[in-house]
Structure 1
């Protein structure tokens, strides 16, 4: 007769934990900008070109054709991070539903939610910075148009 308790291993929780770690790593790499394409011009030049495009659009001058952007690893991570995060949270939920030991499923859900929130906060910060930049350009549109 054995006095040990049969404990089922947390298969779903372990898989969810791995997906959660992958999602969090992808979010950190995406936020760090490590894989972002290196701009060929300075920020001031890019802002000046944006102002020139606004001026050309306002005066009706045709601008140069825009190059079609290619898919890069940074864009792939932007899509892959929330997918991995949702998979981690769902697998953690499945593991809790199957009454597996709760440590790994809770970590899987926590890591998935953390990766999702981290990417969301990053994109909100980018949106706010872009809005501030556009407001600054529009407020100086008189200087841009020369009048």
Structure 2
């Protein structure tokens, strides 16, 4: 998962939804609240000003713990192919630093698309691994949402 001295998360997922449908799931606050975050987490609120320079804030609650926030700014918004934003925890862990997330969508066929995620650079391997686990679980839930719509 690392490339040279970079500490990055790079994931690819095939999803049973068109690029426009997946882009909507990635950006509509009501939809994001349905699949975002690691297993067991709830998302009480998502606020989003979806435009370059616009901010977002996601409230996250772990299964046992206090509410915390993820905040950032949209850098690129190019529906339905690309979304780029900064990612930082409000009141970050000492090992955390702001990273940049790039989400790219590509058609596989008429009803399926591939999501490519890149995030980094992280301050430590431990934080990179934590984000990889969270993204893997969240994208797994997103994939399940699309699969259930197909049934």
TM tier relative to shorter chain:
under 0.3
Greater helix fraction, Structure 1 or Structure 2: 1
Greater strand fraction, Structure 1 or Structure 2: 2
Larger radius of gyration: 1
Relative contact order, higher structure (CA 8 A, sep 6+): 1
TM-score (norm 1): 0.26
